[in-house]
Structure 1
Amino acid sequence: MELQAIKTDRLYVKVAEQLSKLINDGVIPPGKRLPSERELAEKLDVSRPTIREAMIALELSGIVEIKTGSGIYVTERKPFLTIEDKGIGPFEILDTRLIIESEACALAAEHITDAQVQQLKDTIVEMEEEEKRPDASEKADWKFHNIIARASQNSAMSTVVDWLWQLRSQSDLSSAFAIRLREDGVHPSIQDHKDIVSALEKRDPEQAKMAMQTHIKKATAAASTYFESDPFSKIKL
């Protein structure tokens, strides 16, 4: 008896495969602009972030082209292509970070030391210097969030935060999208990070939580605008 491994595809993969088949069958011809994100989400009964991640996967496969400020277009007629699972999508990671990192920041406000506050300030300087280089890697950004997670004094939470940041670099889908955003001039917001430090320095859990939530929500909004009609090259993450 021969058994096959059971595989559960991510939702964005299923959406991308369905759209790929429609393109292959000629239902959506080459050069055609795809329906709006909202319309696709309603017809497929999925969230808009899932549609966005499906579009990234289709673009990586060369099936569509995302033109910021214009829309998403079919590139050319291709044989039916099974979309590969390219890892966890950027919007799922952001949604999870919003929950976990906001709570970690609130805890950190209760336990953070003066030395850790200074480490955060030093890391912001590193971030500012890193952003001056064309090959900025956002390592300082990762370090900043890791310091806060450790300051929460909750090892489980700290481990989860670090894992979420590792997912960003391990996922082809998330990595490719991060590169596209940076090429369009979207960078981490230095001011957001300063606001977070200010709240932590005051040892104010609620303000710290809100500062982190604001930061991640703005990052999500900026990333979402990539798929809409207005260019966002000056939006800060």
Structure 2
Amino acid sequence: MRIDTPPRRPWRQVADLIQSLAAAEGLCAGDRLPSERELADRLQVSRPSLREALIALEVEGRVEIRKGSGIYMANGPRRTDSDPLESEGPFEILEARGVLESAIAEEAARRATPALIAALDANLRDMAAATDDRARVIPIDAAFHVAIADGTGNALLARLTSDIVAKRLSPLFSRLAGHFEGPPTWRCALAEHGAIRDAIAAGDPAAAREAMRRHLAQSRRRFTETFAEARAAEALDS
């Protein structure tokens, strides 16, 4: 009996290409890789996919990203087929959330209650007080999205939202976020949460759907644009 194996994630395929290129050029631990722009051009891959792959290799200990210097080969342990990083990438997760949670926000607007709006208001106050503290703001951010799903009155949707939001704590997502998230990005997220809250409170399903879609699209964009803005500091594009 033939057992189908799951397709390899795009970021894993790109990570393999990076390692193959390094091997072909005889790069060893301590040697510097080409810049991010050059790697993307040579491998013919998108910048987001390349970024996920580099972060994955960093988590695995295969590359080292040095601030103010560049990306270097490292001598991490060899990856195995059971590697825990063989899962959804951060951009794949954000895309899935955009599809699921936009529809959930639309339904929550149809069923909005004073209790839901009060819960969202309390969450926004908590988030405003925690934008400088990553350890505090992440669970507050997650609670906002779960509260909206709870507001649909559908326990399965609430559980699905909780599960998918929890994926941002994966090693790959956490490392990517650690490079690019900070008080400015959390303040942007807070403003976007406010727009979602207002649309739900107004009982406007279309506006709630669009506000959530925009928020998660902006979250994905921040991982790319912040990266570009921080190239000098991170030296990933030097």
User: Shorter chain as normaliser: what TM range?
Assistant: 0.7 to 0.9
**Cα shift readout 1:181-200 (whole Å, capped 9, x = no counterpart):** 33585325221111111111
Gaps of 5+ in 2: 232-238
Aligned to 2:172: 173
Cross-structure match for 1:210: 210
The 1-side partners of 2:78 and 2:21 are apart by 11
Separation (CA, whole Å) in 2 of partners of 1:126 and 1:184: 14
> Aligned residue for 2:146?
146
Distance 1:115 1:91 in 2: 33
SS in 1 for 2:53: helix
Q: Which residue of 1 aligns with 2:97?
A: 97
C-alpha separation between the residues in 2 aligned to 1:134 and 1:201? 28
Tell me which moved more, 85-94 or 101-110. 85-94
Question: Unaligned stretches of 5+ in structure 1?
Answer: 233-237
Q: TM-score, normalised by structure 1?
A: 0.79
Name the CA shift for 1:5/1:209 in 2 (closer, same or farther; >3 Å). closer
Q: 1:206 to 1:72 in 2, by over 3 A?
A: farther
Q: Looking at secondary structure, tell me which structure has more helix per residue.
A: 2
Partner of 2:79: 82
User: What residue in structure 2 maps to residue 121 of structure 1?
Assistant: 121
Counterpart-to-counterpart distance in 1, 2:107 and 2:24? 53
* Larger displacement relative to structure 2 (117-126 or 130-139): 130-139
Equivalent position SS for 2:71: strand
Residues 116 and 151 in structure 1, CA contact (< 8 A), matched pair in contact too: yes
Question: Which of 149-158 and 206-215 deviates more?
Answer: 149-158
The alpha-carbon deviation at position 90 of structure 1 amounts to: 1.1
Whether the 8 Å contact between 1:71 and 1:227 is mirrored in structure 2 is: no
RMSD, aligned α-carbons: 3.2
Write the distance in 2 (CA, Å) between the matches of 1:148 and 1:48. Answer: 32
Match for 2:41 among 16, 21, 39?
Answer: 39
| SS of alignment partner, residue 138 of structure 1 | helix
Distance across 1 between alignment mates of 2:53 and 2:59 = 10
Taking every aligned residue pair, what percent have the same amino acid on both sides?
24
Q: Note the C-alpha offset of 1:25.
A: 3.2
Map 1:146-165 to 2 at 5 A: 146-165=146-165
> Could you tell me which residue of structure 1 aligns to residue 225 of structure 2?
225
Question: What is the DSSP-based 3-state SS (H/G/I as helix, E as strand, rest coil) of the residue aligned with 2:166?
Answer: helix
Give every structure 1 segment of 4 or more consecutive aligned residues whose post-TM-superposition deviation is greater than 4 Å.
3-8, 65-68, 78-81
